[in-house]
Amino acid sequence: IQPPKNPLQSEEWNRLRESFSSPEIFEDVMLNSMVRCNSPIDVAKSLLTHVAKSHGDVAYSLLVKYLALCVQQGMTSEILDVYDIMKIRFKILESGAYNLLIRGLSNSDQWRMALTLLEEVKNIMIPSRTNYESCIKAANRHQEMNLAFELYHEMLDKDLAPTLDVLQAFFDFSRGMKDAELQKELFGILFYLRDNQIYPHKTFMRSIKLWFESIPGGNWRGHLTNIKDSGRCPVCNHQLEDSELTEEEYNKLRERIIRDVIHGTDTFRKTSPQEFQAFQTFVENRLPFDIVIDGLNVSHMKPRQTQCENV
């Protein structure tokens, strides 16, 4: 369905609705099309006005779609109007609406209201990564670095992994700043990447390079290069850390898996000491293994067919 280019009167909307193959979902389909085509706000508003006149109010789903169009076009005043309507009509908003509101407001001069909404979300659900990242980017853009890092650490505490884009923003907006605490935080991000074996893309690498070079009095010079198989940097000639586990590290990991995952707080929930010892003996007597197959997953590979009972 193709949305009109200009606002319509109620009679015109009625004619379009009647000619549509499924009139009961006409408004939803039309607003989806408007979002896809990035239609003028006035056109969408004329549809909502028609719906309000015809039904007495506008359904939540239609308001969310209209909100998506407003966010897409950066219409801050309209975003605030929709939020005011939603607050009056609905006790609690769902995550999709909050995502749109926070994203839309964080990209505007009303960005601090996005922080207020984030706090509102915390009271009723766990904020999404998108919620946090929208607010972090807004704080970065306005040089509120302490606030940005506070939100970043909140994310990590909630086991929400930040995207590379938001991590890059920290370096982009910290150039030229002489602040020991800020440098410590940025090095913390670099250690986070290292400890989790996360490799930045080329744009992110350039941001890191430019940040180092911008540190007042630092005299850093960065180069993008390729590391040879030897693991030695051809620019500074330093040997890079090996990502392979040492035997000691492997044994520590093995012990933690056995203790925390297999045994857990109650060994008998998953196995028994005798059964587990028999399993360990079985494995050790048949080393080495080339391939390990998870029998339960194999038995569920084709759920529509009869499951294997002998795996």
pLDDT at 306: 54
Per-residue pLDDT of 106-119, as tens digits, reads: 999 999 999 999 99
How far is residue 173's CA from residue 162's CA, in Å, rounded to a whole number?
17
Count CB atoms within 10 A of the CB of residue 86.
Answer: 17
Q: Would you say 31 and 69 are in contact if contact means Cβ atoms under 8 Å apart?
A: yes
Distances (CA, A) of 102 to 19, 166, 181, 216: 37, 15, 28, 35
pLDDT at 260: 81
- Among residues of the chain, what percentage have pLDDT more than 70? 94
pLDDT at 307 over 60: no
Q: Averaged over 185-202, what is the pLDDT?
A: 94
Position with higher pLDDT, 283 vs 202? 202
pLDDT at 184: 96
pLDDT at 303 over 90: no
SS3 call for 203: helix
DSSP H helices, the chain, are 10-19, 26-37, 41-55, 60-72, 76-89, 95-106, 111-122, 129-141, 145-157, 164-172, 180-195, 202-214, 247-256, 273-284, 295-299
pLDDT at 240: 86
Q: Would you say 97 and 64 are in contact if contact means Cβ atoms under 8 Å apart?
A: yes
pLDDT at 288: 85
Q: Averaged over 80-85, what is the pLDDT?
A: 96
Q: Would you say 51 and 58 are in contact if contact means Cβ atoms under 8 Å apart?
A: yes
Task: State which amino acid sits at residue 159.
Answer: D
How far is residue 213's CA from residue 211's CA, in Å, rounded to a whole number?
5
pLDDT at 311: 43
How far is residue 67's CA from residue 46's CA, in Å, rounded to a whole number?
14
Q: What is the dihedral of CA 236, 237, 243, 245, to 10 degrees?
A: -140
SS3 call for 294: coil
Q: Averaged over 270-289, what is the pLDDT?
A: 83
Per-residue pLDDT of 123-136, as tens digits, reads: 999 999 999 999 99
Q: Would you say 88 and 99 are in contact if contact means Cβ atoms under 8 Å apart?
A: no
pLDDT at 252 over 80: yes
SS3 call for 78: helix
pLDDT at 267: 64
pLDDT at 229: 83
Q: Which residues pair with 9 in a beta bridge?
A: none
Q: Would you say 224 and 206 are in contact if contact means Cβ atoms under 8 Å apart?
A: yes
pLDDT at 300 over 80: no
pLDDT at 99 over 60: yes
Q: Tokens standing for 191?
A: 């250690």
Q: Averaged over 211-218, what is the pLDDT?
A: 92
* Structure confidence at residue 246 as a pLDDT band (50, 70, 90): confident
Instruction: For residue 139, give the nearest of 127, 129, 152 by alpha carbon.
Output: 152
How far is residue 154's CA from residue 136's CA, in Å, rounded to a whole number?
11
Backbone angles phi, psi at 202, to 5 degrees: -60, -40
Place of tokens 């350039």: 206
pLDDT at 242: 78
pLDDT at 78: 96
pLDDT at 301: 64
How far is residue 254's CA from residue 6's CA, in Å, rounded to a whole number?
66
